Amino acid sequence: MQTSVTPTHCPYCALQCGMNLTPVPDGDGGSVVEVTERTDFPVNQGALCGKGRTAPALLSSRVRLTTPLVRTDGELRPAGWDEALDRIAEGLSRTRTEHGPDACGIFGGGGLTNEKAYTLGKFARVALGTSQIDYNGRFCMSSAAAGGIKAFGLDRGLPFPLEDIPRTGCVILVGSNLAETMPPALRYLTELKENGGTLIVIDPRRTRTAEQADLHLAPRPGTDLALALGLLHLVVAQGRTDEAYIQERTSGWEEARAAAMAHWPEYVERITGVSVPQLRETVRMFCEPESAMVLTARGPEQQSKGTDTVGAWINLCLATGRAGRPYSGYGCLTGQGNGQGGREHGQKADQLPGYRKLDDPAARQHVAEVWGVDPDSLPGPGRSAYELLDAMGTDIRSLLVMASNPVVSAPRAAHIEERLRSLDFLAVADVVLSETAELADVVLPVTQWAEETGTTTNLEGRVLLRRQAITPPDGIRSDLYVMRELAARLGVEKGFPTDPEEVFEELRRASAGGAADYSGITYRRLVEEGGVFWPCPAEDGDGDGGRDGVHPGTPRLFLDRFATPDGRARFVVVSHRPLAEEPDEEYPVLLTTGRVVSQYQSGAQTRRVDELNAAAPGPFVELHPRLAERLGAVEGEPLAVVSRRGRAVAPARITTAIRADTVFMPFHWPGEGRANTLTNPALDPVSRMPEFKGCAVRVERVGSVERAG
């Protein structure tokens, strides 16, 4: 039995916690791997949540796909790889011939390694010739990305390492429940308080994270923009702006200030439900220390005004001199495992590798030279994620899905499921038979985290090497193999290597000179240094780490200048506007959605782990006792939550930890408890983020005509 220990990283969230994989006997003469502590990785220092500890359970043939499947006479049956790949190539080719290349869609995932995300973007544009590619990261951090680019000229989830958080004086955490979504990161907030700093948590629910706060604000869902503007109003009124900083390092302040002054405290209190004394206390706690941070997550971002909301929180940081200074700044807590890297290298509808814009002629020229193609052959920007899915069966006739499960994760999910069923052809590559894969014409079983090598980029912008620890089972192939074989069948014989390091070397060249410059990063450096922060240009031309003249990477952005043409951060002019769908007489309650600690995203993986299912076996409807009393609901009784898009049923969970005008549902489950059956696909005009975090619903006792209102 092999006894070597492999240092690697967790397959789940964007912390990308370090772990060791150690082979142990399986009792049948073979071996399996178990997770052991890895204390050398600074992000988690050995700590892991339950998902990380149980991740090897997904390697079992009991829960995963082990052979390709093709649909015959309406049923999926086992098939060989050649048959399955031929079927996919035929389906895509037929669509391309009959309807044009843009009738072929590609939908990727934020869990794909950088090498896979890069190759998927190249496959779409070079092998298939389609502009129609996007990924589920659009549903995660796109509003924060858009807001960061507007203000700073660059988006990197956190522009500083996590280790800076305990050193600041105050953190405002907006719409994040770290205790359940990223448990090992909670220690940074604990250390913050131990060091004398303060924590303000903004969330309509009193979550496990909010329990740790010095101050918890519980605004009405969808009012985070008004809240941020009200705080800035008070900052100005109390004379707490940093005028020297504003003059030296920013532009656009006069217009932004005027917009904020229209949001006086009493007006904001009426909109948000947050009292004026709480608003004033927030400003005091944020402004009195020498340093402070605002960290946002999906709460304020997953709104049809998410980009403006992020901009308002950045305005607060800029007005108080809390950006581009030590232990101060705005940051986004990226969610998916490679959500950061996944949007940097080409699987997003409007981007090329290196965070280049697809409609920039210079960017097209650079990447086309690396790819060995004519820049004019590259298609232009395509549809965003929801718009791509919504076009299935009409403009989009065939779809290839890699590492995503939109049947559960997309807004207005029943409609998206119907659109998937209407396709002429659907192929899915995944490690499990997800709800989306169950609808496919062809399903491909692919390698997963412990069976392959590749890089990911965590929420700090730290590029990491996830290393292969075990050999995949017979019959399993990598996503890189899939794309090489499909490209060859589509007439492109070269340019799609299957060795991850070879792909990364090309990615380095393609990203060189871009905003997300990885050209100075090599696998060797990642092994020796344990991770490198981008941007990291290859100053000596080869990026060979640890030598004179080699760029060390950039843990902290913006200390000298912002990434705008003039080096100044830009205020944005924003004003409050309501949710796209406010409560009314028929739908009098607000629904917000989120996660629980023992499940992850669409649950396609975690719902197959016995220990995690025991801890979180199914969906629920969280509601306040006053709402439950009006309805006559009791704990554990099934409740129906109804929106204009559909109906979901789940047991009641009655708690004072939520606002009385709001209900909460986790979104990890399919079937009748699918929360995303209800959610509103209203899109942010800039980021194209759907409004997951607020829609109008009514709540009914199952079998009863009684309604809550």
Close Cβ partners of 632 (under 8 Å, ≥ 6 residues apart): 701, 704, 706
Q: Which residues pair with 699 in a beta bridge?
A: 641, 708
pLDDT at position 324 is 96
DSSP 126: I
CATH number at residue 689: 2.40.40.20
Residues of the domain holding 397: 69-139+341-507
Indicate whether 390 and 315 sit together in one domain. Answer: no
pLDDT at position 705 is 47
Confidence of residue 642 (pLDDT cuts 50, 70, 90): very high
**Whole-angstrom Cα distance, residue 602 to residue 140?**
13
How do residues 323-351 score in pLDDT, each as one tens digit?
A: 999 999 999 998 898 999 988 999 999 99
Section 526-534 average pLDDT: 97
Does 629 map to a domain?
yes
Indicate whether 242 and 159 sit together in one domain. Answer: yes
Indicate whether 131 and 148 sit together in one domain. Answer: no
How do residues 386-407 score in pLDDT, each as one tens digit?
A: 999 999 999 999 999 999 999 9
Average pLDDT, the chain: 95
Q: How many domains does the chain have?
A: 4
Enumerate the H helices of 445-495 as residue ranges. Answer: 479-489
For the record, the structure tokens of 613 come out as: 């299912």
pLDDT: which is higher, 62 or 292: 292
pLDDT at position 24 is 82
Section 260-276 average pLDDT: 98
Alpha carbons within 13 angstroms on the beta-carbon side of residue 271 total: 21
β-strand 589-594 against 662-666: which pairing, if any? parallel
Does 534 map to a domain?
no
pLDDT higher than threshold 50 for residue 141: yes
Confidence of residue 121 (pLDDT cuts 50, 70, 90): very high
**Whole-angstrom Cα distance, residue 536 to residue 525?**
12
pLDDT at position 546 is 43
CATH number at residue 306: 3.40.228.10
Which run of H or of E encompasses 454? strand 454-457
Confidence of residue 384 (pLDDT cuts 50, 70, 90): very high
pLDDT higher than threshold 50 for residue 360: yes
Section 77-99 average pLDDT: 98
Indicate whether 615 and 683 sit together in one domain. Answer: yes
Section 103-130 average pLDDT: 98
Amino acid at residue number 241: T
CATH number at residue 46: 2.20.25
For the record, the structure tokens of 576 come out as: 């409050």
Does 547 map to a domain?
no
Residue where a domain stops, chosen among 309, 332, 355: 332
How do residues 494-527 score in pLDDT, each as one tens digit?
A: 999 999 999 999 999 999 999 999 999 999 999 9
Does 101 map to a domain?
yes
Section 596-617 average pLDDT: 96
Does 84 map to a domain?
yes
Close Cβ partners of 497 (under 8 Å, ≥ 6 residues apart): 480, 484, 503, 506
Does 532 map to a domain?
no
Indicate whether 118 and 30 sit together in one domain. Answer: no
| Of 486, 481, 449, 453, residue with least CA distance to 467 | 453
Indicate whether 256 and 387 sit together in one domain. Answer: no
Q: Are 86 and 489 in contact (CB under 8 A)?
A: yes
**φ, ψ for residue 668, nearest 5 deg:** -85, -10
pLDDT at position 32 is 81
Residue where a domain stops, chosen among 507, 540, 573: 507
Does 437 map to a domain?
yes
Residue where a domain stops, chosen among 492, 507, 522: 507
Indicate whether 652 and 693 sit together in one domain. Answer: yes
Q: Are 437 and 107 in contact (CB under 8 A)?
A: no
Q: Under DSSP, is residue 649 helix (H, G, I), strand (E, B) or coil? A: strand
pLDDT at position 28 is 57
pLDDT at position 4 is 87
**φ, ψ for residue 105, nearest 5 deg:** -115, 155
Confidence of residue 109 (pLDDT cuts 50, 70, 90): very high
Q: Are 299 and 224 in contact (CB under 8 A)?
A: yes
pLDDT higher than threshold 90 for residue 26: no
pLDDT higher than threshold 60 for residue 545: no
Please, what sign has the CA dihedral across residues 423, 426, 430, 435? positive
What percent of the chain is modeled with pLDDT above 90?
Answer: 94
**Whole-angstrom Cα distance, residue 410 to residue 196?**
41
Q: pTM of the prediction?
A: 0.95
Q: How far is CA 136 from the centre of its chain?
A: 7
